[in-house]
Chain A
Amino acid sequence: MYSYGNTAALRGVNMRLENGEILAVTGPSGSGKSTLMMCLAGLVVPDAGDVHFGNRIISAENEAVRSRLRRTDFGILFQFGQLVPELTAAENVALPLLLAGVKRASAVSAATTWLDRFGVADLAGSRPPEMSGGQGQRVAVARAMVTEPSVLFADEPTGALDALSGEQVMTQMVRVAREAGTSVVLITHDATIAAYGDREIVVRDGMIDGAHDG
């Protein structure tokens, strides 16, 4: 369970994410799906219940350990990319590696490779304000994937994009995640985006409404 004040945002949630699986978490606004993602990613700790990752109980770890886990094993992507506007695309993508202690030349080289996998290598020297929404979001996915995480958490990754830009982001994100064997937790209110997943769970009023295999 996770609550905001006296209001329970999540109740009785029991779910499992398989290796390499792309799981769509859908539900109306305010249903608790983003809170569920934050619990799974260790951004918040549930008031009751556990979150397991492999053999570890991450909900029992302190913030420093969870933060390290997020840097090494999880990639997180939000609706508005949240790129650093002063940095170039290559520097933005290199950032998680630099924070993990990788030398600058190696980090930038890896960043360029990942930009290329998302078809935006030509933007390596561009800063976010010079990019379209779709280009910026592809750079943001490259940044979320550069540490080769076990799990990518994507919260409404195409919510700010037009249909065709959203399709490009989703197609490339799913292709790269499958190639890398990365599991994806895809938070969306949009069924056309959920259809990129292997499976869907619907969150309604803080509870899982139904689990559907694809």
Chain B
Amino acid sequence: MGLLSTGERHGYELKKDHDARFPAARPLAFGQIYATLERLQKKGHVESLDVERVDGPDRTVYGLTEAGRVELDGWLSEVESPSPYVANPLATKATIALLVADEATAMDYLRRQREAHLVRMREYTRLKTDPNAAIAEVLGADYAIAHLDADLRWLDTALDRISALNRSLTTPPDRDQADQ
């Protein structure tokens, strides 16, 4: 509905528009677009306005209804609640690697994970610093970089914690402190 709020479009244009504006998101499948449009049409939030026929199949042009605009405004004013579950496969795998494997194995895993994250961060950094990048691409890249950076900071802290824990288990306590 957000994309339709700037003007009427058919499904193919909506997909192209979505994928261009949200480059860091998974590309939309055509089936998903048409299923969503059908659902929104049943709710009265969008309406079919015309059928275009240009060198190919018929394409239905959709527009946002007044009820759809009210629904969109309501959605935009709602605060998104932070997810109570923030674990992802990376966090789970790193935790298990740090707890189960020895420090050298865990460090090797973290090093390779950091490398993979930095490769992706470089791609997004190049994308957002391209003078021809559209603002939506820059915002999408900022979002992706911030999340990758959060992962990296967590990985570094995890490594420091495990190193400190290992040191405390393998280093004899200072005599003065032990006496207290």
Q: Are B114 and A195 in contact (CB under 8 A)?
A: no
Chain B residues 93-120 with CB under 8 Å of chain A are 107, 111, 114-115, 117-119
Cα–Cα, bound, A174→B130 (Å):
12
A-B contact count (CB 8 A): 48
Kindly identify which residue among B118, B124, B153, B160 contacts A214, using a CB–CB cutoff of 8 Å. Answer: B118
Kindly identify which residue among B114, B124, B145, B156 contacts A212, using a CB–CB cutoff of 8 Å. Answer: B114
Task: Please give the distance in Å from A104's CB to the nearest CB on chain B.
Answer: 35
Q: Are B119 and A214 in contact (CB under 8 A)?
A: yes
Residues of B within 8 A of A (CB): 107, 111, 114-115, 117-119, 121-122, 124-125, 129, 145-146, 148-149, 152-153, 156, 160
> Contacts of B107 on A, CB cut-off 8 Å?
209
> Contacts of A200 on B, CB cut-off 8 Å?
115, 118
Q: Are B115 and A194 in contact (CB under 8 A)?
A: no
Q: Are B122 and A195 in contact (CB under 8 A)?
A: yes
Cα–Cα, bound, A212→B156 (Å):
16
Task: Please give the distance in Å from B168's CB to the nearest CB on chain A.
Answer: 16
A202 at the interface (CB under 8 A from B): yes
* Sample (24) of A-B pairs whose CB atoms are under 8 Å apart: A170-B129, A174-B129, A191-B121, A191-B149, A192-B125, A192-B145, A194-B118, A195-B118, A195-B121, A195-B122, A195-B124, A195-B145, A196-B129, A200-B118, A202-B114, A209-B107, A209-B111, A210-B111, A210-B114, A210-B115, A212-B111, A212-B114, A212-B119, A214-B122
Cα–Cα, bound, A214→B122 (Å):
8
Residues of A within 8 A of B (CB): 28, 167, 170-171, 174, 190-192, 194-197, 200, 202, 209-210, 212, 214
Q: Determine chain B's interface SS by DSSP, over half rule.
A: helix
Q: Are A171 and B129 in contact (CB under 8 A)?
A: yes
> Contacts of A28 on B, CB cut-off 8 Å?
156, 160
Q: 5 closest Cβ contacts across the A-B interface?
A: A195-B121, A212-B115, A210-B111, A195-B125, A171-B129
Q: Are B117 and A191 in contact (CB under 8 A)?
A: yes
Cα–Cα, bound, A194→B122 (Å):
8
> Contacts of B119 on A, CB cut-off 8 Å?
212, 214
> Contacts of B111 on A, CB cut-off 8 Å?
202, 209-210, 212
Q: Which residue of A lies closest to B155 (CB)?
A: A191
Given contacts A192-B146, A197-B122, A214-B122, 6 further A-B contacts (CB under 8 A): A170-B129, A174-B129, A191-B149, A192-B121, A192-B145, A200-B115
Task: Please give the distance in Å from A155's CB to the nearest CB on chain B.
Answer: 20
Task: Please give the distance in Å from A32's CB to the nearest CB on chain B.
Answer: 16
Task: Please give the distance in Å from B104's CB to the nearest CB on chain A.
Answer: 12
Task: Please give the distance in Å from B20's CB to the nearest CB on chain A.
Answer: 22
Q: Which residue of A lies closest to B160 (CB)?
A: A28
Of B117, B118, B121, B145, most A-chain CB atoms within 10 Å: B118
> Contacts of A167 on B, CB cut-off 8 Å?
129
- A171-B129, A191-B149 known; A212-B121 Cβ under 8 A: no
Q: Are A191 and B129 in contact (CB under 8 A)?
A: no
> Contacts of A210 on B, CB cut-off 8 Å?
111, 114-115
Q: Are B114 and A196 in contact (CB under 8 A)?
A: no
Cα–Cα, bound, A157→B122 (Å):
18
> Contacts of B115 on A, CB cut-off 8 Å?
200, 210, 212
